[in-house]
Amino acid sequence: MVRIIPMASSIRSSLSSFRFSGGVSTSRFGLSLSPLRLPSHLHFSHLTSTVPQTHFFGLKASKLLKTAGTRVGMPPVGNVVHASMATAQETALEWVKKDKRRMLHVVYRVGDLDRTIKFYTECLGMKLLRKRDIPEERYTNAFLGYGPEDSHFVIELTYNYGVDKYEIGTAFGHFGIAVEDVAKAVELIKAKGGKVTREPGPVKGGSTVIAFIEEPNGYKFELIERGPTPEPLCQVMLCVGDLDRSITFYEKAFGMELLRTRDNPEYKYTIAMMGYGPEDKNAVLELTYNYGVTEYDKGNGYAQIAIGTDDVYKTAEGIKLFGGKIMREPGPLPGINTKITACLDPDGWKTVFVDNIDFLKELE
């Protein structure tokens, strides 16, 4: 869908989409905030000439307006600003709960596309759903999974011409695949020359049978023994520096549900499963906090997850309200007109939200 280049995006966030008119602030959520009565020489049209609008709902706005009020004999208005922000967040939460969101695909870079496709289809049982080459931009995409893109979570591989290796780093964990017989799956992978890094057996501290394998580019897959499921490609594991902070962000900004947590003090880590439905039927995010580790090397291999939404503009506003950083302002992509917005979570993990209707049109 979007070209993924080896280096991090340099796109800068633009000003907030909140608009001020005559001292009344409005947003795409349909919220009107109480007007702030300022003298003509301190009207919002003057304040916005030097202060980004995104600050009007944060600490800097509060300090600015308190200072302005004191200087002209007005009562402090910081409380009004904070109350207005709380109201905006509440309105955003209501909309996020109603939005039809689904994890669409996960994007990462590989050095040998044909070899990777061969491994995924022969060893992991995936199907090559589609492939597109963009020679003028010097990259190729391949989409693989266990079912159609309009109903399944799939993988989008990106090959950039001439780049044969990427650094995976320490922050990315693994992908998860649900299989009915882990031991049988491992036998097949070994027969095809695949690399097994953990033999089949119960997970530490539990009874679920798992195994770990490594694909040709060095990415790890966890094989999870589970009954028949509509979503075999079931997990993306990412490391985070503050688990409580991440849970709050994904619940509020992304509208995900905290499905479960598990603390493993013996091995010094805690996990949280986040998603849009039960993990035995949907793809989920597995967020991992390793005791005492707050920063990781992300490398340049893993790119992002794409999530469907009914409105990329409202989604972007909600992300801003709950502390996310917009890397690409909402709008249509040149050439294909699919509307997207891209953001970073508190740990710097990138997510792209894609308009649901536009996504289905693109598949056609």
Q: How far apart are CA 172 and CA 166, in angstroms?
A: 13
CB atoms within 10 A of CB 204: 9
DSSP E strands: which ranges in the chain?
19-21, 24-26, 102-109, 127-134, 139-145, 154-160, 172-179, 195-202, 209-214, 220-225, 233-239, 257-264, 269-275, 284-290, 302-309, 325-332, 339-344, 350-355
Which position has the token pair 């979503």?
Answer: 231
Ligand-binding annotation for 199, yes or no, is no
End-to-end CA distance of the chain: 13
DSSP result, 39-73: -GGG-HHHHTTTS-GGGGGSHHHHHHHHHHHHHTT
Find out whether 257 is annotated in a ligand binding site. Answer: no
DSSP string for residues in 216-245 = TTS-EEEEEE-S--S-SEEEEEEE-S-HHH
Q: Report the candidate in 135, 244, 132, 258 with the shortest Cα–Cα distance to residue 143.
A: 132
Q: Which of 149, 222, 231, 286 is catalytic?
A: 222
| Rg of the chain taking only CA atoms, in angstroms | 23
Q: Is 149 assigned to a binding site?
A: no
3-state helix, strand, coil in the chain (%, to 5): 25, 35, 40
Residues 6+ apart with CB under 8 A from 33: 24, 25, 26, 84, 87, 88
At 5, give phi and psi (nearest 5°).
-100, 160
* Phi, then psi, of 64 in degrees rounded to 5: -60, -45
- Establish whether 222 is a catalytic residue: yes
Indicate which residues carry an active-site annotation: 222
The annotation places the binding site at: 156, 174, 222
User: Would you list which residues are annotated within the binding site for Zn(2+)?
Assistant: 156, 174, 222
